[in-house]
């Protein structure tokens, strides 16, 4: 089963399950998870091939949704489900195929469509990074700067670099993520409908959620509402954490 972190105590409110995006982990959500746990149990997972969770040869949305279903059945459901980017697609896949496990759904900055971009260059940059002798993230950042120009993206990626133990290593299965990238940026074309309350929450500065996606989103999620967080990009929970948290609380209440 997926590794997860657990905060808060069970209350009358459903457990909140948080699902991170590509190259992320549960630890990226630590501060938000702890604050949201003030009135309910909040669980955040490490997805397969990420963080401390198991490594697997397949990394498609049917498999990821199955992993989430296993967690929900173990912790008790239905849950309020929040997924960002890759995690948002996995959450949508679960809602469409196992809607009985999802009480409310929040999808952060992604649509149920295939995207044309690829994150393989980031995988290759991480694989090519010389980790020999690195003792601090600042050193890794300097070395990675030649391949990844954006300091914000470098900072995000380097959260998955483990500097403890005998030798630095990535807490990501980069080989599989690179090979399965077409599945990650794609969409399996899942049919069905999830008629539960759904919030499609986007960053106003991001181009991942577009007007032309709305019709397909409403077809699959007929009760979807759409909202944007001003000043936030694709990593909206990191750009505007307080505003993101407030939007979650308002919708889930």
How far is Cα 53 from Cα 60, in angstroms, rounded to an integer? 16
How far is Cα 244 from Cα 47, in angstroms, rounded to an integer? 21
pLDDT digits (tens, 9 = 90+) for 223-247: 999 999 999 999 999 999 999 999 9
Q: What percentage of the chain carries pLDDT values higher than 70?
A: 100
Question: With 90 as the cut, is the pLDDT of residue 165 above it?
Answer: no
3-class DSSP state of 42? strand
pLDDT digits (tens, 9 = 90+) for 20-30: 999 999 999 99
DSSP annotation of 14 reads P
How far is Cα 84 from Cα 220, in angstroms, rounded to an integer? 18
Q: Which residues carry out catalysis?
A: 85, 175, 234
pLDDT digits (tens, 9 = 90+) for 195-226: 999 999 999 999 999 999 999 999 999 999 99
pLDDT reported for residue 109 = 98
pTM for this predicted structure: 0.96
Q: Residue 237 half-sphere exposure, CB side, CA atoms within 13 Å?
A: 27
How far is Cα 177 from Cα 182, in angstroms, rounded to an integer? 9
Question: With 90 as the cut, is the pLDDT of residue 166 above it?
Answer: no
């Amino acid at each position: 089963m997926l590794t997860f972190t657990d905060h808060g105590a069970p209350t009358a409110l459903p457990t909140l399950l948080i699902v991170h995006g590509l190259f992320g982990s549960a630890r990226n959500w630590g501060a938000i998870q702890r604050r949201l746990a003030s009135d309910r149990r909040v669980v955040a997972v490490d997805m397969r091939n990420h963080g401390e969770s198991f490594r697997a040869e397949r990394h498609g949305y049917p498999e990821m949704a199955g992993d989430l279903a296993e967690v929900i059945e173990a912790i008790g459901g239905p849950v309020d489900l929040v997924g960002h980017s890759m995690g948002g697609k996995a959450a949508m896949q679960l809602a469409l195929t196992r809607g009985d496990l999802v009480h409310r759904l929040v999808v952060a900055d992604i649509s149920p469509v295939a995207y044309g971009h690829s994150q393989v260059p980031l995988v290759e940059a991480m694989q090519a990074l010389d980790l020999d002798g690195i003792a601090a993230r600042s050193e890794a950042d300097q070395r990675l700067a030649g391949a990844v120009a954006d300091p914000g993206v470098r900072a995000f990626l380097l959260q998955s670099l483990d500097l403890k133990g005998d030798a630095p290593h990535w807490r990501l299965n980069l080989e599989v993520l690179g090979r399965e990238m077409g599945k990650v940026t794609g969409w399996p074309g899942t049919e069905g409908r999830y008629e539960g309350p759904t919030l499609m929450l986007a960053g106003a500065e991001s181009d991942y959620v577009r007007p032309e996606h709305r019709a397909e989103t409403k077809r699959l999620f007929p009760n979807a509402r759409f909202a944007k967080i001003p000043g936030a990009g694709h990593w909206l929970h990191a750009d505007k954490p307080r505003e993101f948290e407030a939007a979650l609380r308002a919708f889930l209440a």
